[in-house]
Amino acid sequence: MTNPVELTVDKVIKGGLGLGRLTDGQVIMVPRVLPGERVRVQPRRHHKQYQEADLLEVLQPSDQRITPTCPVYDTCGGCDFQHAAYAEQLRLKNSILGETLCRARLCREEEISFLLGSPMASPKHFGYRQRIRLQVAQGMMGYFGRQSHSLIPVSRCPLAGESLNSLLADLSGNRKFHSLLDLASAIELFENPAHNTVILLIHYARKTRPTDHQTARLLCQGLPLLEAVIFNVEGQAKGPCFNANGETPLSGLRVEILLSASLCGQPLTLGLEPGGFCQVNLGQNENCISLLLEWMRSMQPGKVLDLFCGMGNFSLPLAMLGWKVTGMDMQRSTIRSAIRNSEGAGLAGQCEFTQESATRAARRLLAEKATFDCLLLDPPRSGCAELIPLLPGLNAGQIIYISCDPATLARDLRGLTQAGYRMIEVRLVDMFPQTGHLETMVRLVWQGTRE
């Protein structure tokens, strides 16, 4: 085994890894460090151009280093930045984003300070997650360890909302629950904010039996926070679902999120089926919607195309401001939710939602010679490279791109700028404090020529 080495951390890169160099120039990447720190590390994995290492000791700590809140922070793979003061987390993430844009030649270093706005801090630094997923092994719940599939048992997660942690504590000591846990591969907890309850989804190893159903019903009866238990067996449709009264249709169960009247003049309730996608940081999600509406107020309400619309998180607030919305998404349940949400808000006449892939929808709309004033792009982590060449033909004067991965964002932005769009503002949105994940919002305007 290679002997431990000492080095100075030059910077922190994507994923929260510190980068330093040995005297011979060899690059070392190590977690849980901060720029300028002198550290002793144990190299453990060699690659062609760098080595991975584990942190052994911080010899000269940064003045931004703090004591982590979580007792399993050193071993759990969930967080990357609990050792850094929150202001330093924001600075590091903004720096990573700026460096990614410059490396992709989307802007020059001297331009980045004008293009990249101040990072949008999360209202909560801890306790912000509306849902969590815990792995299960040998009857224990927890997260995977860093870069491993070893289970780190947890009974409380500092990133989870208080209601999730309260129910987790109740479940941890419940014998009935552990009888179900023995046959589970994972569980998910969803806070239902409008009801002040939590929904439990159990990924089950076999088809459920009457005794499982009875146990689920008794859990709901005995735990006031627990609204429902859903079983999810691999290879079959989600369900069955149980509440305190017995089996209940899954279609009748909705997680409801309330958006404040300060966003678009009146309250808006967004509902989705359990397991459907919504941002886990609800307070920061409202900030994202607020920034979107701020950017859109520079335009007269017209036609907006939301190509990854989900339950209508961004498009319905726009509809409330007078925009005509066309939205599509691949997930059937989210389209059902988007339609219900538009009807519940009295916006059905302004919105059209269909189940369709973004690429297929764009091709269809081009064939129909449809045009739009603005496009909303909120793709999955993989981005939307195949979609980018189709977008200029929709004649939108503005594109808002919401991304959860800087690398695929840079790739897609390169395609959009080459096609004739220009970035005019980029904002880091800290959707996931204490982690290395970056959420970004980008505003682009058309500056090319139309055929």
- Contact indicator for 100, 406 with CB cutoff of 8 Å: yes
Q: How far apart are CA 25 and CA 20, in angstroms?
A: 9
Q: How far apart are CA 54 and CA 74, in angstroms?
A: 10
Residues 6 or more apart whose CB falls under 8 angstroms from that of 63 comprise none
- Strand partners for 241: 230
Q: How far apart are CA 13 and CA 3, in angstroms?
A: 25
- Contact indicator for 302, 350 with CB cutoff of 8 Å: no
Nearest Cα neighbor of 443 from 383, 375, 358 is: 375
Residues 6 or more apart whose CB falls under 8 angstroms from that of 53 comprise 5, 28, 29, 30, 41, 42, 43, 44
Which candidate in 288, 309, 374, 404 is catalytic?
404
Instruction: Specify whether 76 is catalytic.
Output: no
Place of tokens 């552990």: 178
Report the interhelical angle of 86-103 vs 406-419 (nearest 10°): 40
- Contact indicator for 79, 126 with CB cutoff of 8 Å: no
Instruction: Give the phi and the psi of residue 251 in degrees, each rounded to 5.
Output: -65, -20
What is the token pair recorded at 241?
């679902």
Q: Any idea which residues carry the catalytic annotation?
A: 404
